[in-house]
Structure 1
Amino acid sequence: MSDKRTLKVAVLGCGAVGSQVVRLLTEQSDDLTARVGVPVELVGVGVRRLDAPRDVDLPDGLLTTDVAGLVARADVDLVVEVIGGIEPARTLILSALDNGASVVTANKALLAEDGPTLFEAAEKAERDLYYEAAVAGAIPILRPLRESLAGDKVTRVLGIVNGTTNFILDKMDSSGAGFSEALEEAQELGYAEADPTADVEGFDAAAKAAILASLAFHSRVTAADVYREGISDVTAADVASARDMGSVVKLLAICELRPGPNGDQVAARVHPAMIPRTHPLASVREAFNAVFVESEAAGQLMFYGPGAGGAPTASAVLGDLVTVARNRLAGTRGMGESAYADRAVQPMGETRTRYHVAIDVDDRAGVLAAVANAFADHDVSIQTVRQEGRGADAQLVVVSHAAPDAALAATVEQLRSMDIVREVTSVMRVEGGDE
């Protein structure tokens, strides 16, 4: 490849991200030539409809609905996939690799569901498959995990990886708004889709958690392995209670190594949690993302920036494109899948967590002892307990020490069955601070 005069690129998709990729390829062509070493030529943009409105002006002849034909072209050196979803993206990526092209993708859903198939196809074809843009937009997090920390042992990755949910929870915290009100504002400002299910129910974050866990712990983790809870049940009262504790509610993607019966296991989960306002992630506002990494030698690292949007995501795509292009010219490949550790995924019930539980109770003697006994019945230690209100408004707020999640869930179920408990009004996990 070193004598090749032009490197030819095909882009699949011309939506919010794809249009920005095309714009950067066009506007920065001279800089890209200098960085790569040869001109980078955009030879085709695969789309579903030719007449769809787009945010970029394209030269005549670049748009095509024959996407399968585009990726099968023998002269295409590199394919950028920003269609999203499972199909036809999977088939198109596999076809591109089979026809000798390297691939850059931002497709978190596909990587989290069927990454091994793609990595195996890239290995067989002796081509690159890069995917920095699949997690946290412009934030460079996958490359540091794959390369900068390759000589270290990562033990925990804790992140805010969905801008929509962070905007909603931040608005609830700063204004006292309820979930529906904050979601409506997010939709009006373009932070949330008309159908926000993938974001607010945690599916988007779970896919990203699977990718982070796979890379950090050198084991295959799929989205189905990630425990998932969304934020639609988070109330203004939950947020206010967190504030009273000096905490804030965030939707967290948590990937960590936990002791298992036969060595370390991977625990991967996505759920809303209270974290102290002193924690670095607590200050992440609006639609920004941040990822907090802990490793044995480097210690604690944090990566912060815009986690979504066409231009930020396109920035990550172009970074991968330059790297892959340089590899093609040098006749080399970057690192492929690293799954040598092959660690088991720890079930959520065995993962140690902490709970914040708000309980409406009868205001009479013996209530506190009975509630404490319910925790003791499941070997769950109480860290703090406080009573709020009197009479019909009496409420106990209990924060536990770390215990297996199944034991904490069983404790809550027992509380709900007790005569002295009118209602368990809130259950939320707690992260940060002492276990």
Structure 2
Amino acid sequence: MVRAGDVIILAVLALLCVGVIMVNSAEMTVDAQTGVTFKSILFSKASALALAAMVALLCARMLPVRCWASNPGLTRCIPLLLPIMLAALVLVYLPGVSGKAKGAARWLVLPGGITMQPSEVAKWGMPVVLAWYATMRGGALNRFWGGLVPALVVLGMVAAIVVLEDLGTGVVILSVGGLVLIAGGARIWHFVMIAPAPLALLGLAIIAEPYRVQRLITFANPYAEARGSGYQIIQSLAAIAGGGGTGRGLGFGLQKFGYLPEDRTDFLFAIICEELGVMGAALVLALYALLLFAGWSVVKNERRMLLKLSALGVIATVGIQAIMNLAVVTGLAPTKGIALPLLSAGGTGWILTAASLGVLASLDRSRPPISTDEARKPVEGQPTLFGSIEAKPIASAAAPATIAP
């Protein structure tokens, strides 16, 4: 029987390979004689980054994550991720250590010219911090002031800093964080009750930047600004439509010749549709569906609440980010710079995404066999989406709460 962890590994490797090929194709000027050669792909920057991501994936798969989660001393260190993430997010605004692209301060410049995107670290770190909080607080999350509000303050603080320069990633962090808290025992009606506040803040973040307002206007009718703000989405739709069933052929797309901005990053899926057609697009979507299905299988079968919620955060991050990117590229959402996981060109994004999914494979590899009845058996205590856990104050918790068999 094929294990879910093995499916995750294969799906990630397949997506990285497709990403390397398509990123190289998108950034190449080719003709009928040259095309996209194996040598040009093998020695490209994208290949080096993909190799680093593959190493991170396989190394993460071998980590003793389950043993670490059973060690109270190590789990008590999880909250330290929060000040580290906040410090990294603030550092991008300091001259000398930050790097800008198209006016946005999103990168830290490390020694050796290496760049890192702190928002990516926050995107993958926040679900773990919130999973720890939900586990330590147990059933207290169903109380508004004493359980949910402290978690929302932390989540809102991190997301607010990210939103200043990267609205898309901020929305992903908020969405995944809310999902983890609800799965950990928070009441949905509490979120409904406070929904106007974050929506109002999101509206302010949009209004504060004229280009964001223009994107909303353009979304309503991109053809009204066909040579201006609507140009990118029109060219994206032209690329998708131009591919037909089988595409123009790998390396022989037209939109990458200066017509479609961000063709190797946020709008790479449009290039995939143009060069590989509906068949290529269907392959990519099938790989994502396979990855999400296998990831959910790991979440469903995990019995330790800290690991279960963390795994949910990982798979939700991949799924929500992919849906947001595909919605933007196909004109179903306003234009927003957000990468397609494991496909769009990126260094920090590829490596951290692969490593996070490798952790899911590690959980599946080290999971002791349990029966179907045992996996579905609830335990006594406060209810969550995954069963029940007993309420424990953080100060008195000696070890992470687990779901009893």
Instruction: Tell me if TM exceeds 0.5.
Output: no
TM range (shorter): under 0.3
TM-score of the two chains, using structure 2 as the length reference? 0.22
The structure in which a higher percent of residues are helix is: 2
The structure in which a higher percent of residues are strand is: 1
TM-score of the two chains, using structure 1 as the length reference? 0.21
Kindly indicate whether structure 1 or structure 2 has the higher relative contact order, using CA contacts under 8 Å at least 6 residues apart: 2
Max Rg structure: 1
